[in-house]
Structure 1
Amino acid sequence: MSRTLAVVGGGAIGLAVAWRSAQAGWKVTVHDPAVGSGASWVAGGMLAPLSEGWPGEDALLQVGAASLQRWPDFGSELGALVDEPLFTSHSSLTVALDAADAADLRTVAEWIETQGYRLELLSRAQIRAAEPSLAPSIRLALLASTESAVDNRALVRALRLACEAAGVAFVAESVVDPESLPADQVVVAAGTGAAALWPGLPVRPVKGEILRLHHRPGVAPAPTQTIRGSVHGRPVYLVPRGDGIVVGATQHESGLDTQVTVGGVRDLIADAQTLMPSIGEYELYETAAGLRPMSPDNMPIIGRVSDRVVLAAGHGRNGILLTPLTADAVVAELSGAPLPEAKNCAPDRFGPTGRAH
């Protein structure tokens, strides 16, 4: 008989864990009152571990790159289940507006090469040829030809279908104590709610606001690749979608607040327009805010914390990127053979994480 598994949390991480576990022979139930409605629904969907890297962040680069390598097969398998494109771009461009940002791009390019990867620096002329809608004031760019982006909402829909096809059951109820669930094993993949479910877990919420813009007739089309930059010290990204662009994202340490602020919308529009002047002619279709589940070192927390409980938490702003690796790591943990690529994500790096009685 199949062993039973309860997955607490129905975002991209929880759904992927449930799907892969069911494929591995587990009888799986997902517990979530509103599947796919949290941070996974608001995310930008960037898969950019290389261009977002920085010297000294070796462990974060390694886990991100390992997950990026899984995405082509993972995405192809899921993409066959939905009647919409899952991938929305297949490269990323990080741009510099001033000399300091340009120096940072050169630093990243040099460091990434020492780690065994390659990013390409583009001149003004090359930038204009690649993305003519970008501002002519951009002086340098870093091209990552292997960094793609996915439609996060299409991903959630595909994962739900994949789970259903694999026989995963869904219970639309909140869980208070994961150890009270009757399953043989339990995976806590509840985003920012994981800290309440496993007291002592160092995961905190960080609010991020995003805009969804629709293209209008006669306006310059969206970039063909993901665009990232910094304006007045504020990071901003433009991620292509079939109907326009996702612009993000602010970052606020504001507890569980998910209200979109006037200031947040103002800054995102102004910064996005600095990178792409014609974006002001797009339709402002949706504003939203989600809560990133951040860990102290910005690394996910994946691993066993008791005989019955495995954590898949603390993914921060990289939840979509790390979805396939996390699913594989949890299935490996459940089988008793932890995944080598996830060794730096072990919960015990923060000290004892067992629940206090």
Structure 2
Amino acid sequence: MRSSTNGDGSDVLVIGGGIIGLVTAWRAAQRGLRTTVADPEPGGGAARVAAGMLAAVTELHYGEQLLLGLNVASAARYPEFAAELSAASGQDIGFRACGTLAVALDSDDRAHLRELHALQQRSGLESEWLSGRECRRLEPMLAPGVRGGLRVDGDHQVDPRRLASALLTACERAGVVLRRGWAERLSVRGGRAVGAVLADGTELVADQVVLAAGSLSGRLAGVPEEAVPPVRPVKGQVLRLTVPPAYAPFLSRTVRAVVRGSHLYLVPRENGELVVGATSEELGWDTTVTAGGVYELLRDAHELVPGITELPLTETRAGLRPASPDNAPLLGPTALPGLLLATGHHRNGVLLTPVTGDAMADVLTSGELPEVARPFAPGRFASAAPVPQEQPA
């Protein structure tokens, strides 16, 4: 084993301590690999803003049928994963098998939802078409104008903040070393990744390096051009409201809709929190919460659930989703020996947490990706130029 300037090296160095980096580190440590995570604030990242929908069915989009297989595989693992993580950390991650209702507010939305239902059926997915009256029977707070909807009992939710906290604790208990500093440069020797240099000059040495830095994954210095992940930031603004006891139950399940062409979701937590999101903005590294973003979310949510304007608004946040050119993750070895990727999950990072952890543990120990993850190897973008990005403010 190589030695670093700070003592013995690691088998695996994970750069990035969001949920994807942490689940990779936890699973690697469980396989007996000495693992280090480098991140100034482990447990942070895009998960702090995510709503936590486990929506393999209602997240299906045209042209993304290949990603569907990975989403479904990960969703199927969630009940067991949640139980294992809760036992390992002693924390409840807020997993709820509550189902999802996707509704239409006008005739155009209804036609679109009907087409989506047909696509779901052709893809072998389970969903049930409901009339507007049946939708309101399930969720009485819905607006009278709801024209119809899809009931998907297999799409659930988890609390991403609890998930991140539990993964952090599980990592610590599994012996993962946490280095609370940012990796500024990848160390490459003899044509192989051998670690990274932190902002304070400390060099961390490892046999394998996993780049799991979310939207920042493409900005690590020292990565050869052919191995730079084509990942860009996509801004999302999210609101959190509180449902007072007098208003409970407000919603019993996740409710989704397309309002004025924009996707909207409302995710009710058991603790009375209601998450409303999310905008999708191609604005580089900007994480400003804007009056326009908040207004649009509240306006559209009010059109869907009029009573929402009576609830206290407790938080407004903006975060950056890591998006790849095909909106699917990059998993596994790169063109640079010793460097692997676990990034580019875009809007599915929370959903794909279990399958990503398993896939990365497999490839770190055996050198081979499991079959379910092979279509998402970074090599599919081998001929693509890196995505140009401005320096984050």
Fold match by TM threshold 0.5: yes
1:287-306 alignment, distance < 5 Å = 287-305=316-334, 306=336
Residues 139 and 252 in structure 2, CA contact (< 8 A), matched pair in contact too: yes
Aligned length: 355
1:233-273 CA-to-partner distances (Å, cap 9, x unmatched) read: 11110011122200000111111111100000000111111
Work out whether 1:140 is the aligned partner of 2:148. Answer: yes
Alpha-carbon offset, residue 56 of structure 1: 3.2
Distance in 2 between the 1:33 and 1:3 partners?
19
Work out whether 1:345 is the aligned partner of 2:337. Answer: no
Aligned to 1:155: 163
Structure 1 residues 23 and 83, CA gap change in structure 2 (3 angstroms)? closer
Aligned to 2:201: none
1:245-260 alignment, distance < 5 Å = 245-260=274-289
Range moving further from structure 2, 16-25 or 332-341: 332-341
Distance in 1 between the 2:42 and 2:345 partners?
18
For residue 75 of structure 1, what is the amino acid of its counterpart?
A
Structure 1 SS opposite 2:276: strand
For residue 70 of structure 1, what is the amino acid of its counterpart?
R
> Match for 2:65 among 58, 66, 74?
58
Structure 1 residues 353 and 326, CA gap change in structure 2 (3 angstroms)? farther
Distance in 2 between the 1:87 and 1:190 partners?
25
For residue 267 of structure 2, what is the amino acid of its counterpart?
V
Q: Which runs of 5+ in 1 are unaligned?
A: none
Residues 10 and 36 in structure 2, CA contact (< 8 A), matched pair in contact too: no
Distance in 2 between the 1:131 and 1:178 partners?
51
1:190-269 alignment, distance < 5 Å = 190-197=213-220, 198=223, 199=225, 200-241=228-269, 242-269=271-298
Distance in 1 between the 2:81 and 2:133 partners?
36
Residues 112 and 119 in structure 1, CA contact (< 8 A), matched pair in contact too: yes
Distance in 1 between the 2:136 and 2:78 partners?
29
1:130-153 CA-to-partner distances (Å, cap 9, x unmatched) read: 111111211111111111111111
State TM-score, norm by structure 1.
0.95
Residues 207 and 251 in structure 1, CA contact (< 8 A), matched pair in contact too: yes
Identical amino acids, percent of aligned pairs: 46
Structure 2 SS opposite 1:247: strand
Q: Which runs of 5+ in 2 are unaligned?
A: 2-8, 188-194, 197-204, 387-393
Residues 220 and 278 in structure 1, CA contact (< 8 A), matched pair in contact too: no
Residues 230 and 385 in structure 2, CA contact (< 8 A), matched pair in contact too: no
Work out whether 1:173 is the aligned partner of 2:181. Answer: yes
Distance in 1 between the 2:381 and 2:80 partners?
33
Work out whether 1:313 is the aligned partner of 2:343. Answer: yes
Structure 1 residues 98 and 308, CA gap change in structure 2 (3 angstroms)? same
Aligned to 1:28: 35
Structure 2 SS opposite 1:302: strand
> Match for 1:16 among 5, 19, 23?
23
For residue 37 of structure 1, what is the amino acid of its counterpart?
G
Structure 1 residues 353 and 158, CA gap change in structure 2 (3 angstroms)? farther
Which has the larger Rg?
Answer: 2
Work out whether 1:115 is the aligned partner of 2:143. Answer: no
Residues 78 and 158 in structure 1, CA contact (< 8 A), matched pair in contact too: yes
For residue 174 of structure 1, what is the amino acid of its counterpart?
W
Structure 2 SS opposite 1:208: strand
For residue 261 of structure 1, what is the amino acid of its counterpart?
T
Structure 2 SS opposite 1:218: helix
Residues 7 and 186 in structure 1, CA contact (< 8 A), matched pair in contact too: yes
Distance in 2 between the 1:195 and 1:137 partners?
45
Alpha-carbon offset, residue 20 of structure 1: 0.6
